[in-house]
A and B are shown apart, each in its own frame.
Chain A
Amino acid sequence: MAMSPTMSTTQDDHGDAPEPIEALLPWYAAGTLNAADTAAVEKALAADAGLRAQLALIREDQAEAIHAAESITAPSARMARTLFAAIDAEPLPASARQPLRQAPWLERFGAWLGVWLGALTPRNLAFAALSAAALIALQAGIVAALMAARSPGATYEVASGPGATVAGGSALLVAFEPTARLDQITALLTELNASIVEGPRAGGLFRLRFAEPGDSAIMASRQARLNNAKGVVRLVAPAN
């Protein structure tokens, strides 16, 4: 955990200690021991009537502790109202404002690239090596544009598409072919005036946002265009 609680001990934490198996009994009763400890406790229980008696007491304690907690009714609606009013009154959390927080997107994109490169056959890899310089330059451009866009309300901008600023608009989910090149992806996004705003999600899906909203006919034509981008797009799906 990033925020570690303060260490605290009580006087009896240092007093007489239970036997190792005896100490595990409460967790055995709660069913939260790992398999090895569970087996060890069960073996000891089979041979020790004293432990079985302790376990019976623990089950009584457990039943009453659960009853005591369950008898506490839900908090008032005021609590949720107060919390969300406070949240509404606050600026976005620091993690959503700072450029650093955007790193996971890039990391995921990098991870996706890694998977993509890792999936290449030796032949494709050789081809990729030939175009490495162009690929790196394009990637750097996209990354730089993404980094520049990191502020509240900012828009994402495709590096190779000056003026292709995206703010709001409609969205689609897209999975790219493992063999798709960055220059192909960039060209397609530029043509559609779209940008990647999220992903990859499960299944390698990215959310594309179009700069201009579109009705169902326009969205259908965009989807058709993406579907026709053979070798670049593997799958297109509605975003909502």
Chain B
Amino acid sequence: MVGMSEADLVERLAAGDKAAMRAIFNAHHLRVFRFVVRLIGREDIAEDVVTEVFLDLWRQAGQFEQRSSLSTWLLAIARNKAYSALRRRREEQLDEGVAEAIPDHDDTPDVHAQKINKAAILRRCLDTLSPEHRAVMDLVYYQEEPIEAVSRILGIPENTVKTRMFHARKRLSELCQAAGLDRGWP
């Protein structure tokens, strides 16, 4: 499989080639996994979600029309499944909640120590963003997806992608300010 193009691999996959499936899985599973963990915050659930994502790819590879990259396609499926998993968790465990729904205000000594560190505050605030805002930030900064790809993955127009990213940044700065880190914006 070394040296094969993505298009070749997908074509082999559509023909039922398991070696192609393994090559695609090896190339993409970590970034998809990280994207899902960033969205739902639970690695065990993320593993189940990512398994479903690649199983969908195996079953539906023939539908992939290569108008977008394979990673965009995988991340779009992952985003849909992650949101479904989030909804299930909210319904099943309302009392437990998810990180962004009920921020933790009880600082342990460790957390207090972290807060003297600007980077740690920023990281903690990133984790408390809504799933929508975490998703767009992860796609732009970590996954390095261009505007058009983010639009496809999130299923929103490109202008809405830009606006959502802007509000995610703004919200992050507001959270930082509330945590004692004034960034001078907004």
**Interface residue ranges, A against B (CB under 8 Å):** 1-10, 12-15, 17-18, 22-24, 26-27, 29-34, 53-54, 57-58, 60-70, 72, 74-76, 78-80, 82-84, 86-88, 90, 92-96, 98, 101, 104
Contacts and interface: CB of A to CB of B under 8 A. Distances in A.
Contacts of B64: 1-2
Interface residues of B, number: 75
Given A86-B51, A93-B62, A101-B62, A62 B166 contact: no
Nearest to B169: A61
B72 A10 contact: no
A33 B37 CA distance: 26
A153 B70 CA distance: 28
A26 B163 contact: no
A75 B172 contact: no
Interface of chain B: mostly helix, strand, loop or mixed:
helix
Interface string B121-163: 0110011001010000110111011110000111110001011
B137 A65 contact: yes
User: Which 10 A-B residue pairs are closest in the complex by CB-CB distance?
Assistant: A95-B62, A96-B16, A5-B155, A2-B63, A23-B162, A65-B141, A92-B16, A18-B166, A69-B142, A12-B167
B100 interface: no
A174 B173 CA distance: 62
A69 B142 CA distance: 7
Contacts of B147: 27, 32
Interface of B: 11, 13-16, 18, 21-22, 25, 29-30, 33-35, 37-38, 43, 46-47, 50-51, 54-55, 58-65, 67-68, 72-73, 76-77, 79-80, 83, 119, 122-123, 126-127, 130, 132, 137-138, 140-142, 144-147, 152-156, 160, 162-167, 169, 171-173, 183-185
A183 B79 CA distance: 52
Nearest to B137: A65
A6 B152 CA distance: 10
Contacts of B156: 7-9, 13
A32 B144 contact: yes
A205 to B, nearest CB: 13
B141 to A, nearest CB: 4
A72 B15 contact: no
B76 A23 contact: no
A65 B138 contact: yes
